[in-house]
Chains A and B, each alone.
Chain A
Amino acid sequence: DVKVTQSSRYLVKRTGEKVFLECVQDMDHENMFWYRQDPGLGLRLIYFSYDVKMKEKGDIPEGYSVSREKKERFSLILESASTNQTSMYLCASIGTTYEQYFGPGTRLTVT
Chain B
Amino acid sequence: QKEVEQNSGPLSVPEGAIASLNCTYSDRVSQSFFWYRQYSGKSPELIMSIYSNGDKEDGRFTAQLNKASQYVSLLIRDSQPSDSATYLCAVNRNTGFQKLVFGTGTRLLVSP
**Chain B contact residues: over half helix, strand or loop, or mixed?**
loop
Contacts of A11-25 to chain B: CB distance below 8 A: none
Does the CB pair A48–B43 fall under 8 Å? no
In this complex, what residue of A is CB-closest to B97? A50
Does the CB pair A31–B100 fall under 8 Å? no
B99-110 near A? 1/0 per residue, CB < 8 Å: 110111100000
B43, B51, B103, B104: the one contacting A102 at CB < 8 Å is B43
B42, B92, B102, B105: the one contacting A98 at CB < 8 Å is B92
* Chain A residues near B88 (CB-CB < 8 A): 42-43
**Chain A contact residues: over half helix, strand or loop, or mixed?**
strand
What class of interface size applies to chain A in its complex with B? Answer: 20 to 34
Interface membership of B46, Cβ < 8 A: yes
Interface membership of A84, Cβ < 8 A: no
Does the CB pair B103–A42 fall under 8 Å? yes
Does the CB pair A56–B97 fall under 8 Å? yes
Residue numbers of A with Cβ under 8 A of B are 30-31, 33, 41-43, 45, 48, 50, 56, 90, 94-105, 107
Could you list 20 examples of A-B contacts with CB < 8 Å? Answer: A31-B99, A33-B99, A42-B88, A42-B102, A42-B103, A42-B104, A43-B44, A43-B88, A48-B97, A48-B99, A50-B97, A90-B43, A95-B98, A97-B32, A97-B49, A97-B51, A98-B34, A99-B49, A100-B90, A102-B44
